[in-house]
Amino acid sequence: MGRGNDTPISEFILLGFSEEPALQALIFGLFLSMYLITMLGNLLIILAFSSYSHLHTPIYFFLSNLSLVDICVTSTTIPKMLWNILTQSRVITYAGCITQMYFCILFAGLDDILLTVMAYDHFVAICHPLHFMVIMNPWLCGLLVLVSWIMSALNSLLQSVMVLQLSFCTHFEIAHYFCEIQQVFQLAFSDTFLNNMVIYFAAMLLGAGPLTGIIYSYSKIISSICGIPSAQGKYKAFSTCASHLSVVSLFYGTVLGVYLSSAATHSSHSSAAASVMYAAVTPMLNPFIYSLRNKDIKRALKRFYGMAGTKGTIILR
């Protein structure tokens, strides 16, 4: 937990995307807009779920939790970057870097696991519709979310504690806009072999494992949909899964794109730019994907807007 000469670390430098002063205002405006849209879209999903009883079903319960996680993951990284641009300072304290790293890993893992839980919900709804309410009871739904938090928190805690054991060189510049764990490893003076092994194991357990579960669920879902005799029934069953499939494709596509591009180019700045896709763009788009393709969400949001407009008129009068 120090430099190569055992001097305690006090801070890191986040280089961000560009050091050009002319681009700082553009970057600030772009990320501030993305952050506000993400907050507004996901808060509306949560408010719609909490306000209307007809949305108190397992899938919307999981969706509201996913929206909460999306708010948290963007709030972990973007506000600090915006603050650094405003203050013209790229500094993040050592404790702040470890804390940011912990929450980034926590919420990224939660995103992954919750998408798998939602795939299981679709699997039960389509493949076992008569037993859906018995299987997906409130107790099980709460337990699935609790287990998701526990698994992700333990993984995040393990990786953060292992980073605390590393010693660092005198070069503290991180070529990223947040404390991404692989970028921090590159600054380590001590051996990171064990840390990398833990990351690869976690990626297999919390990355490949959930993806395998999603693929298995959808293989069963497709098989069941093919057995539906009417075209209308097939369309209705498929439309139930379309939004989730879009979000899964966006999440895994961007995550794989980040690591494949960084492995191919070996450029830290390219990795930082690609990370924006899963750390900022995906959380921003998720509410739109679910809202545009979901009649229940649209109806709830329209009612919510209507109630807000009515209250505003009464207050003005």
CATH number at residue 251: 1.20.1070.10
Answer whether residue 273 is part of any domain.
yes
Q: What is the pLDDT of residue 270?
A: 61
Q: What is the pLDDT of residue 297?
A: 74
Answer whether residue 235 is part of any domain.
yes
Mean pLDDT of successive 10-residue segments in the chain (317 residues)? 54 83 88 95 89 85 94 94 90 92 94 94 92 94 96 94 84 84 84 87 87 93 88 81 88 75 57 78 88 70 61 44
Bridge partners, residue 174, by sequence: 14
What is the count of structural domains for the chain? 1
Q: What is the pLDDT of residue 4?
A: 44
What domain range includes position 239?
A: 8-309
Answer whether residue 314 is part of any domain.
no
Can you tell me the distance from the alpha carbon of 21 to that of 269, in angstroms, rounded to the nearest whole number?
17
Answer whether residue 1 is part of any domain.
no
Residue 81 DSSP code: H
Bridge partners, residue 230, by sequence: none
Answer whether residue 182 is part of any domain.
yes
Would you say 104 and 180 are in contact if contact means Cβ atoms under 8 Å apart? Answer: yes
Can you tell me the distance from the alpha carbon of 82 to that of 32, in angstroms, rounded to the nearest whole number?
7
* Residues 6 or more apart in contact with residue 171 via CB below 8 angstroms: 187
Tell me the pTM.
Answer: 0.88
Answer whether residue 201 is part of any domain.
yes
Answer whether residue 207 is part of any domain.
yes
Answer whether residue 315 is part of any domain.
no
